[in-house]
Amino acid sequence: MSPTPILEVRGLKKHFAARSGLFEEKATVKAVDGVSFSVMPQESFAVVGESGCGKTTLGKLVLALERPTEGSILFEGRDVGAMSRAELKAMRSRLQVIFQDPYSSLDPRMTVAQIIAEPWDIHGLHKNPAERAKRLHKLLDDCGIAKSFLDRHPHEFSGGQRQRVGIARALALEPKLIVADEPVSALDVSIQAQVLNLLKDLQKEHQLAYLFISHDFSVVRHLCTRIAVMYLGRVVETADSETLFNDPQHPYTEALLSAVPVPDPAVEKRRKRILLSGDVPSPLKPPPGCRFHPRCRYAVDSCRVSDPALDEARPGHAAACAVLPFKDRRSDAALVAL
Amino acid sequence: MEPPVLSVRGLRAHFVTRERTVKAVDGISYDLAPGRTLAIVGESGSGKSVHALSILGLLPTPPAKIVAGEILFQGRDLLKMPPSELRAVRGNRVAMIFQEPMTSLNPVLRVGEQIAEAVVLHQKKSQAEARAKAIELLRKVGIPHPDKRVDDYPHQFSGGMRQRAMIAIALSCEPDVLIADEPTTALDVTIQAQILELMKTLQKEFKTAIILITHNIGVVAEMADDVVVMYAGRAVETAPVGELFRNPRHPYTRGLLASVPSIYERKERLEAIGGQPPDLGAGDIPGCPFAARCPVAEARCKTDDPPQFSLPGGRMTACWKAEAEGAERTHRFAPVKGAAS
């Protein structure tokens, strides 16, 4: 019997009402449209996709900041949708978030000490000043923040330092799962490396699970052990990280990986790139059949009408494609392997 | 080798206010040959964009001031050109595309009109000819149904299409130099791949020299022939792209390359560069601006500012370690005497 997942998402949907133009009919944006996955304790699970694929909405649903249209979310085996307000609050001490933008996610009028300690005030924890100071110092140490920062305000710090404060705040309640929505995408690369190393160290030390939301495959590869690739509100492929990078099965994953520039000119000269034609279609009018078919170079007639389900053809490796996965492929398709 | 189409010599652009002086660009020199791509890479605040804006005379003066240097375009110094002549070069012989395609297009003008504008202005074509040219350019940059989309407004275009339209505007007069400031940073990776491919194709067709300003090391590896690495307003290393990645000479370049995660290998830890870049408004830094974060810094690095040393193969590094290894101080890249007005 395998252990209980810390997070389980089943058939999750979130639809928003929208108008595509002033005089046009009402429409529905299917931001998340039938997503299922689970995250095990101490696992780092990534949701990867391009803008508009629904990954941020998915994060908000998991954090119970949005109510799902359909489907359920189980946190430590309990249905989040059925929780009372008090239960939700209690859950939130075990489920924390790190935001993308370290500039807008810290209150400019609070000191670093107040920002990090605010979760304790909200949850009525560690009221003893001596104990609080001790915990605060431990968090600063863990997150690589100098003690002299405590009485200063966010504007005095650079992006990387602010993100460390945001991470310390997320850790204050000793959560078990952290949802991190693009936590390093606003940072310069040398600072990004510092923060990624920090997230890795903290995961070991605090036995954390991460739900890591990102558009950046290189970052995900470094940090995460399992990956779900999203396209237009759906998960099109999930696999463990090594398998996904070495043997992608969905045509979208394959093209996405081939589009990522590699920081090595020798590799860049050798590799072939699959150029996807066109843009991501509007989520207001997703294409019929397989949502990826208008941009897919393997598409056949049936792709235009039938919508493939996510099929776990190999243990732990699932793809939603009727044509490509797990079959003999043209040799030039295996571009990602060197 | 052909003579360079653009040469930048000891450029220094400072922002001077009553309270302080920010030395945003404080020493960059390079040559750009026709049809080549030079990448300028650095992190936020390293001066790469300010340097680009100074080439085209687009910096607000004051507070900005070009305190030294020359920018030679086909042998003529753009910094000394009268405004009317500079206008004839800008957007015509030297064009630029910006990071954010939404804010750099005019939302109340049709896309076609914005492309035609440069053609009418610089090539003295009629409105009808310019419109035909706009349609042809939209087709070239891969916009479907260009004869219809030419009458669209920018908001009817997606992010990738807007950047294509920007490229069409920039290439409308077949410029000799294209400055691309983070052209794909705002775009998704599959769209980025399309745009980079398009830039390469058009470069071949028009023999345009490209200055590509980016913080993305992967994009540098894919696009560049030569690279200038900037740190704290200075060029700290210059090298052909293959050499730079194979054998980086400046400790900052080494740190930068090692800190980049790659989809090809999973490293247990990334080699982060400790500390933060210096605050350029906090007064002069004695010594090398990278010394505080440098793993191999010596006593002298903290007090003496390293000059630029030339290395074999047309390379340059601004690091005292190079002198110890026998490199010579460069004279060509030495700061230009006196302040230009």
Looking up tokens 């207001």 gives: A284
Instruction: Give A337 to chain B, closest Cα distance, Å.
Output: 8
Residues A21-31: what's their mean pLDDT?
Answer: 75
Task: Tell me if chain A has a CB within 8 Å of the CB of B243.
Answer: no
Q: What percent of chain A stands above pLDDT 70?
A: 93
- What is the C-alpha to C-alpha distance for residues A25 and B139, in angstroms, rounded to an integer? 32
| Token pair of B326 as six digits | 């026998």
Q: Which residues pair with B211 in a beta bridge?
A: B38, B179
Backbone angles phi, psi at B223, to 5 degrees: -105, -35
Whose CA is closest to A51, among A296, A279, A289, A290? Answer: A279
Q: For residue B265, what pLDDT is reported?
A: 77
Looking up tokens 């194979």 gives: B246
Write the secondary structure of B76-132 as one string of H (helix), E (strand) and C (coil). Answer: EEHHHCCHHHHHHHECCCEEEECCCCCCCCCCCCCHHHHHHHHHHHHHCCCHHHHHH
Q: Is the pLDDT confidence value at A337 over 50?
A: no
Indicate yes or no: CB of B271 within 8 angstroms of CB of A276: no
- What is the C-alpha to C-alpha distance for residues B244 and A164, in angstroms, rounded to an integer? 32
Q: Which residues of A touch B259 (CB under 8 A)?
A: 189-190, 192-193
Mutate which: B259, B267, B290, vs A, most A CBs within 10 A = B259
DSSP letter, residue B175: -
Classify B66 as helix, strand or coil: strand
- What is the C-alpha to C-alpha distance for residues B166 and B88, in angstroms, rounded to an integer? 19
Residue of chain B nearest A335, judged by CA positions:
B264
* ipTM exceeding cut-off 0.85 for this assembly: no
Give the model confidence (pLDDT) of B254-273 as tens digits. Answer: 999 999 888 877 777 888 88
- What is the C-alpha to C-alpha distance for residues A113 and A111, in angstroms, rounded to an integer? 5
Q: Which residues pair with A70 in a beta bridge?
A: A13
| Token pair of B148 as six digits | 């219809």
- What is the C-alpha to C-alpha distance for residues A187 and B209, in angstroms, rounded to an integer? 30
> Which pairs from B277-281 meet CB under 8 Å and 24+ separation?
B277/A188, B277/B43, B277/B45, B277/B46, B277/B231, B277/B232, B278/B232, B280/B22, B280/B23, B280/B24, B280/B45, B280/B232, B280/B233, B281/B20, B281/B21, B281/B22
- In what order do the strands lie in the sheet containing A70-75? A26-39, A7-19, A70-75, A78-79
Q: Please, are residues A150 and A140 in contact by the beta-carbon 8 Å criterion?
A: yes
Q: For residue A284, what pLDDT is reported?
A: 80
Q: Is the pLDDT confidence value at A327 over 70?
A: no
| Token pair of B32 as six digits | 């750009």
Q: For residue A326, what pLDDT is reported?
A: 62
CA B89 to chain CA mean position, Å: 18
Q: Is the pLDDT confidence value at A306 over 50?
A: yes
| Token pair of A288 as six digits | 């019929």
Q: For residue A94, what pLDDT is reported?
A: 93
Q: Is the pLDDT confidence value at A112 over 50?
A: yes
Residue of chain A nearest B242, judged by CA positions:
A265
Q: Which residues of A touch B158 (CB under 8 A)?
A: 279
Q: For residue A23, what pLDDT is reported?
A: 65
Q: For residue B22, what pLDDT is reported?
A: 87
What DSSP string describes A74-101? Answer: EETTEEGGG--HHHHHHHHTTEEEE-S-
- What is the C-alpha to C-alpha distance for residues A124 and A175, in angstroms, rounded to an integer? 16
Classify B313 as helix, strand or coil: coil
- What is the C-alpha to C-alpha distance for residues B239 and B309, in angstroms, rounded to an integer? 12
Indicate yes or no: CB of A273 within 8 angstroms of CB of B161: no
Q: Is the pLDDT confidence value at A203 over 70?
A: yes
- What is the C-alpha to C-alpha distance for residues B100 and B49, in angstroms, rounded to an integer? 13
Q: For residue B176, what pLDDT is reported?
A: 93
Residues A72-100: what's their mean pLDDT?
Answer: 92
Q: Please, are residues A7 and A211 in contact by the beta-carbon 8 Å criterion?
A: yes
Indicate yes or no: CB of A193 within 8 angstroms of CB of B222: no
- What is the C-alpha to C-alpha distance for residues B309 and A275, in angstroms, rounded to an integer? 41
Of all helices (H) and strands (E), which one includes residue B220? helix B217-223
Instruction: Give A254 to chain B, closest Cα distance, Å.
Output: 11
- In what order do the strands lie in the sheet containing B94-97? B94-97, B177-181, B209-214, B37-41, B226-231, B234-240, B315-317, B309-311, B328-329
Q: How confident is the model at residue A134 (pLDDT cuts 50, 70, 90)?
A: very high
Task: Tell me if chain A has a CB within 8 Å of the CB of B200.
Answer: no
Residues A283-301: what's their mean pLDDT?
Answer: 89
Average pLDDT across chain B, whole number: 87
- What is the C-alpha to C-alpha distance for residues B40 and B219, in angstroms, rounded to an integer? 11
Q: Please, are residues B50 and B24 in contact by the beta-carbon 8 Å criterion?
A: yes
Whose CA is closest to A19, among A275, A278, A282, A269? Answer: A282
Q: Is the pLDDT confidence value at A331 over 60?
A: no
Which of B215, B222, B272 is closest, CB to CB, to A261?
B222
- What is the C-alpha to C-alpha distance for residues B206 and B252, in angstroms, rounded to an integer? 35
Instruction: Give B88 to chain A, closest Cα distance, Å.
Output: 35
- Parts of chain B with a pLDDT under 50: 332-341
Q: Is the pLDDT confidence value at A53 over 70?
A: yes
Q: Which residues of A touch B197 (CB under 8 A)?
A: 273, 275
Task: Report how far apart, in Å, the C-alpha atoms of B85 and of each of A252, B81, B118, B120, B341 are.
Answer: 49, 6, 15, 17, 17
What DSSP string describes A141-197? Answer: HHHT--GGGTTS-GGGS-HHHHHHHHHHHHHTT--SEEEEESTTTTS-HHHHHHHHH
- Among the residues of chain A, which ranges form H helices? 55-62, 85-92, 112-123, 129-143, 159-171, 189-206, 217-223, 241-246, 251-259, 265-270
Backbone angles phi, psi at B57, to 5 degrees: 65, 35
